[in-house]
């Protein structure tokens, strides 16, 4: 089996051509104050922009002298992506960004993955936000940085929920769940609560690693809401709304009046309903998170 080809970066140019240096002065350096001011307005922190022109321009075509325009376009693309990022994630986004990019520095450099690299990507390395270009694609897709920013920031480990999860909970669950919970209470003839169990579910799915379903972080709130809505539908279809005996039976065995989500390492079925210590658990496993949510609580009558 052939050995994988290891990417070897090009050496930096000994000296940039005069035309390239002039273009950097006219189109990049002369806009630096504006770049920094716009970034500070978004993040509330002074950032530096540090691009090693001799290293980056080694990947340009031989007759291309528009180095300053190229660098400007990358930074304009970054600022545009940052505007969208802050608009979506607001103060949490600013906090996460600044804490991840602790050196408050932005740079542009070649992606060391070589031919396996995307045309454009990003990461945070030693506290520096790096805009990464593929070695043979310098200057391509400079305005496509919005999709690369969140993965770069989320790639820095931190305690608590990631940004995508916070956003999903706040946008997809909070405010929408409450009327459904109220309706469940009406169906059951008593005030019940629904506990999404965010911290434990999040930790279990993180621990599940590659076994956990894809994109769960950005859809956690939406998935929890689907379980809740499925529970309401199942309670209705099983006749609890019009049957006092069923209502009383459930109130007796679920004495805490709590439905709670739970993710376990292993379960016998995709979705299970169990009652422990007066709590009704809706449980699944990492590789089945979100599956069959419409069937939540389908066997409750059998548990009475």
77 in Cβ contact with 144 (< 8 Å)? yes
Q: Can you tell me the distance from the alpha carbon of 6 to that of 25, in angstroms, rounded to the nearest whole number? A: 35
Whether 110 and 174 map to the same domain: the answer is: no
Whether 116 and 169 map to the same domain: the answer is: no
Residue 167 located in a structural domain: yes
Whether 131 and 199 map to the same domain: the answer is: no
Q: Can you tell me the distance from the alpha carbon of 232 to that of 183, in angstroms, rounded to the nearest whole number? A: 8
Whether 145 and 177 map to the same domain: the answer is: no
Whether 136 and 192 map to the same domain: the answer is: no
Q: Can you tell me the distance from the alpha carbon of 52 to that of 55, in angstroms, rounded to the nearest whole number? A: 5
121 in Cβ contact with 140 (< 8 Å)? no
Task: Return the structure tokens found at 6.
Answer: 């290891």
- Count of domains forming the chain: 2
Residue 39 located in a structural domain: yes
Whether 289 and 194 map to the same domain: the answer is: yes
93 φ, ψ (degrees, to nearest 5): -65, -45
Q: Can you tell me the distance from the alpha carbon of 35 to that of 19, in angstroms, rounded to the nearest whole number? A: 23
Region of 69 on the Ramachandran plot (φ > 0 left; ψ -120 to 50 alpha; else beta):
alpha
Residue 2 located in a structural domain: no
Whether 199 and 262 map to the same domain: the answer is: yes
Whether 68 and 138 map to the same domain: the answer is: yes
Choose among 146, 156, 148: nearest CA to 84. Answer: 146
Task: Specify the pTM.
Answer: 0.87
215 φ, ψ (degrees, to nearest 5): 60, 20
Whether 67 and 132 map to the same domain: the answer is: yes
Residue 122 located in a structural domain: yes
Residue 7 located in a structural domain: no
Whether 128 and 54 map to the same domain: the answer is: yes
Whether 265 and 144 map to the same domain: the answer is: no
Residue 4 located in a structural domain: no
pLDDT tens digits, 228-254? 999 999 999 999 999 999 999 999 999
Q: Can you tell me the distance from the alpha carbon of 230 to that of 295, in angstroms, rounded to the nearest whole number? A: 6
pLDDT score for 265: 96
Q: Which domain holds residue 247?
A: 163-303
Q: Can you tell me the distance from the alpha carbon of 47 to that of 83, in angstroms, rounded to the nearest whole number? A: 15
Whether 130 and 205 map to the same domain: the answer is: no
pLDDT score for 3: 63
Residue 12 located in a structural domain: no
Pairing label, strands 105-110, 120-125? unpaired
Domain edge (last residue) among 128, 154, 180 = 154
Residue 5 located in a structural domain: no
Domain edge (last residue) among 123, 154, 185 = 154
Q: Can you tell me the distance from the alpha carbon of 105 to that of 48, in angstroms, rounded to the nearest whole number? A: 5
Q: Can you tell me the distance from the alpha carbon of 143 to that of 81, in angstroms, rounded to the nearest whole number? A: 8
Domain edge (last residue) among 154, 178, 195 = 154
Regions of the chain with pLDDT less than 70: 1-5
Q: Can you tell me the distance from the alpha carbon of 167 to that of 115, in angstroms, rounded to the nearest whole number? A: 34
Choose among 230, 250, 229: nearest CA to 241. Answer: 250
Choose among 179, 231, 215, 223: nearest CA to 198. Answer: 223
């Amino acid at each position: 089996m052939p050995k994988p080809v290891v990417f070897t970066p090009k050496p930096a140019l000994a000296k940039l051509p005069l035309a390239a240096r002039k273009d950097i002065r006219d189109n990049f350096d002369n806009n630096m104050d504006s770049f920094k001011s716009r970034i500070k307005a978004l993040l509330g922190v002074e950032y530096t922009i540090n691009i090693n022109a001799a290293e980056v321009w080694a990947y340009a075509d031989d007759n291309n002298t528009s180095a300053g325009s190229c660098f400007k376009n990358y930074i304009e693309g970054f600022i545009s992506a940052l505007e969208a990022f802050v608009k979506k994630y607001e103060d949490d986004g600013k906090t996460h960004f600044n804490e991840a990019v602790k050196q408050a520095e932005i740079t542009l450099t070649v992606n060391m993955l070589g031919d396996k690299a995307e045309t454009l990507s990003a990461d945070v390395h030693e506290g520096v936000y790096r805009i990464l270009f593929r070695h043979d694609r310098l200057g391509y897709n400079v305005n496509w940085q919005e999709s690369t920013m969140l993965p770069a920031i989320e790639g820095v480990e931190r305690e608590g929920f990631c940004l995508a999860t916070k956003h999903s909970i706040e946008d997809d669950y909070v405010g929408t769940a409450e009327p459904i919970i109220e309706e469940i209470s009406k169906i059951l003839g008593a005030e019940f609560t629904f506990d999404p169990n965010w911290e434990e579910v999040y930790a279990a799915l993180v621990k599940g690693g590659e076994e956990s379903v894809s994109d769960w972080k950005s859809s956690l709130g939406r998935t929890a809401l689907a379980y809740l809505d499925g529970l309401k539908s199942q309670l209705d279809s099983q006749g609890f709304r019009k049957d006092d005996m069923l209502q009383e039976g459930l109130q007796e065995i679920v004495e805490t009046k709590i439905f709670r989500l739970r993710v376990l390492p292993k379960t016998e079925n995709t979705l299970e309903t169990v009652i422990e210590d007066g709590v009704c658990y809706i449980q699944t496993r990492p590789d089945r998170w979100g599956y069959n949510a419409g069937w939540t609580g389908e066997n409750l009558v059998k548990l009475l």
